Structure 1
Amino acid sequence: MKHLVLIAVLGLAGCSSMPEFLRPAANVTTPEARAPNAPPPDANTEDALDTTTEEERSAALAAPEPAGERELGTTVASLGSPTEPGIWMATPLVTAVTPGRVVAENGKSVQLELRPLDGPPTAGSRISLPALRLLEVGLAGLHTLTVYAR
């Protein structure tokens, strides 16, 4: 039994000197495994991470139909995952995916997908990089947003 443990320890110790082609892959993301419209793995700028189309941005900035829209409240939001594509906000103010709109303190408004986020209604929210860019509030920091659902 001692010999088996010794062999296992020595075998693992030699892994770092193992040729690359023999080492196990470390969570490799293939293009097929990425979400549609996800930025490339080497994206590292705002422009590269924002994969929304001009049509998607125009639709998000279009004036909403006020009929049927209801205010859900105010939330403090920070940047969500910059690699998650789309114009969205994850917030505890909704319990199901819902079309909605947010208005920043600067008066800018964007239509987006509201996604549920576990937590009390007073907890903060996370918003997509494209949505923050359209709101023109900057990517860093916390942003107070008024949230509406349709």
Structure 2
Amino acid sequence: MRLIFVLPFAALAGCSSPSMQGIFGTAPQAPAAIPAPTLDPTPPPPPPSNATTVDQFDTTSEEDRAAATEVSDDSEAAELGVTIASLGSPAEPGIWLETPLVDVLTPGRITYQDKTINIELRPSGGVPGSGSQISLAAMRLIEAPLTSLPELTVFAQ
């Protein structure tokens, strides 16, 4: 008698198998990864799918890194504030800071201790004070430990 109550549940459990998808419709497909908008007309390529080291994940070119560290004395740059940043997705290439200090994609720069770099400021959609995320390449350029939470001063150019 108990078997009668269990059989319908066991039959329904099998409906999620790939062979049963034709009967009940198709399984939803995972959305394709959409690259983040960027100011860079030729952004660095994404890291290889088998990347495991920091060097493999950081696909910025020598030219990208040189341009980021070539900071002019721009007295017209507006200081946006200070933020605490954590490491963003290492699979997202480029030199960027996702922060609630901007509402639109903006060229900018950051300072950390005695390092200053040019950086792409991306809106995070968070509330002011909620912190930021910084790219792997940018963390390497400011020489912050990858596991740290550096305090950054952010400027819009």
Query: After the TM superposition, which residues 108-147 of structure 1 pair with which residues of structure 2 at under 5 Å, given as runs?
Result: 108-147=115-154
Tell me the equivalent position of 2:69.
61
Closer/same/farther in 2, CA of residues 74 and 85 from structure 1, 3 Å limit: same
Which of 78, 85, 91 is the matching residue for 1:83? 91
Distance 1:5 1:138 in 2: 52
- Whether the aligned pair in 2 keeps the contact of 1:64 and 1:111 (CA below 8 Å) is no
Q: How far is 1:67 from its partner? A: 3.9
Q: How far is 1:9 from its partner? A: 2.9
Q: Which moved more, 1:34-43 or 1:127-136?
A: 34-43
Query: Residue type matched to 2:80 in 1?
Result: L
Specify every segment of 5 or more residues in structure 1 that has no aligned partner in the other structure, as ranges: 16-23
Specify every segment of 5 or more residues in structure 2 that has no aligned partner in the other structure, as ranges: 19-26, 36-43
SS in 1 for 2:111: strand
Closer/same/farther in 2, CA of residues 53 and 34 from structure 1, 3 Å limit: farther
Tell me the equivalent position of 1:9.
13
Aligned-residue identity in percent: 45
Q: How far is 1:138 from its partner? A: 1.3
1:23-54 deviation per Cα after TM superposition (whole angstroms, max 9, x unaligned): x8x96x8xxx6856000111111000000000
Tell me the equivalent position of 2:82.
74
Q: CA RMSD in A?
A: 2.7
- Whether the aligned pair in 2 keeps the contact of 1:103 and 1:109 (CA below 8 Å) is yes
Closer/same/farther in 2, CA of residues 55 and 88 from structure 1, 3 Å limit: same
Tell me the equivalent position of 1:95.
103
Runs of 4+ in 1 over 2 A off after TM superposition: 2-12, 33-36
Query: After the TM superposition, which residues 14-25 of structure 1 pair with which residues of structure 2 at under 5 Å, given as runs?
Result: none
Tell me the equivalent position of 1:148.
155
Distance 1:149 1:63 in 2: 13
Tell me the equivalent position of 1:20.
none
Q: How far is 1:8 from its partner? A: 3.9
Q: Normalising by the residue count of structure 2, what TM-score does the alignment of the two structures yield?
A: 0.75
Distance 2:148 2:68 in 1: 22
Closer/same/farther in 2, CA of residues 46 and 5 from structure 1, 3 Å limit: same
Q: Normalising by the residue count of structure 1, what TM-score does the alignment of the two structures yield?
A: 0.78
Aligned pairs, number: 136
